[in-house]
Amino acid sequence: MNNSTPTPLGPTVAEEPKSTMFSATLPHLQIAWDNTSLSIYKDCPRKYYYAIVQGWRPKTVAAPLEFGKAYHDCLETYDALRAAGAAQTAALGAAIRKAFNLSESWPDFDDNARTRLTLIRSIVWYSEEYAHDEMVLYRLPDGNLGLELSFRFGLGFSSPSGEEYLYCGHMDKLALYGGQLYTVERKHTKLTLSSSYFEKYFFSAQITGYVYSGRVVLHERIAGAIVEATQVGVNFSRFGRAAINRVEDHLEEWRQDLQFWIQQAEQCATTGHWPHNSESCGKYSGCQFRRVCSKSPALRNLTLEYDYRRDRWDPTINRGSE
């Protein structure tokens, strides 16, 4: 990897900057990219246009998203308190209180594996599973904990108007394991935590992007990513981890591919044509915009305004660790 090409913009954890998501001269051209927006574009440019450029989301709340966010937040609280010297019971109590607060406003999900009960059970059993964890939370040189770290940096290539493209993201956790530094990506699933479940992350652009980004913004060698997964069921929670390593060639290949996809989106933004990839309509239990695309082009805006809400995803907003 050529570390001289990317240009880090500020510290890993910083004050929230003014949004630089879109070009100042071409309103539909995204300048600040992350894996979320990139993966949506790869699925379908039209889906990307509706979700990222226009900022439409379904009015109904998806159970996996709400459950996953709450689980992340609760484990972040647990990890932070444990790193500060709190006893396991005290840290667990704080995480459970947060779980109650976060789940209080949940609607009645049609998903018996993602409920307040299964959320709390997963937190409790997680604390027992990793009570004597060999993976140690990393502290940044400035003393901040390696939890929910927001980053952004310049990619070394620019838009037609000369604006440098940025790559942004949020790392769940940085940890030391076996004498090496890893980024930790937390996942929850209803799938069995078999070897095939973890193997799919070897091809994950998100994982490669985190390893690349960590080396740029931290100026340290990150060996790879540890995927920490929780399988949630109606009556059980199971846990598993797998290390996904990356070599230098993987990282440079990721950056080249990233440039290719951004240039494709650049063409769409310039021409105003966002082609429909019909091969992705059935992915992930069905695209959320299938109802829109089933309408004639003249009726699609009305369908969006009636069935969806505006809530634009902005990768430039920092999270930081509380």
- If asked whether residues 47 and 80 sit together in one domain, one would say no
Band of residue 141 on the pLDDT scale cut at 50, 70, 90: confident
126 and 168 in a common domain: no
Mark whether 57 and 195 lie in a shared domain.
yes
Same structural domain, 279 and 153? yes
Q: Could you tell me what percent of the chain has a pLDDT over 90?
A: 77
Same domain, 147 and 195: yes
Does 144 lie in the same domain as 128?
no
Looking at 92, 116, 133, the residue that finishes a domain is: 133
Name the helix (H) or strand (E) containing 174.
strand 164-177
149 and 193 part of one domain = yes
Predicted confidence band of residue 19 (pLDDT cuts 50, 70, 90): low
Looking at 106, 133, 160, the residue that finishes a domain is 133
Note whether 90 and 38 are same-domain residues: no
- In whole angstroms, give the CA distance from residue 112 to residue 115: 6
Domain span holding position 56: 7-61+139-310
pLDDT in tens, 110-124: 899 999 999 999 999
pLDDT higher than threshold 70 for residue 14: no
Report the domain count for the chain. Answer: 2
Tell me: do 53 and 70 sit in the same domain: no
Task: Name residue 195's amino acid.
Answer: S
Domain-embedded: residue 2:
no
CA distance 36 to 204: 12
Tell me the pLDDT tens digit for each residue of 205-261: 999 999 999 889 888 889 999 999 999 999 999 999 999 998 889 999 999 999 999
Query: Quick one: 105 and 56 in the same domain?
Result: no
Q: Is the pLDDT of residue 1 over 50?
A: no
Give 30's strand partners. 22
Predicted structure pTM score:
0.87
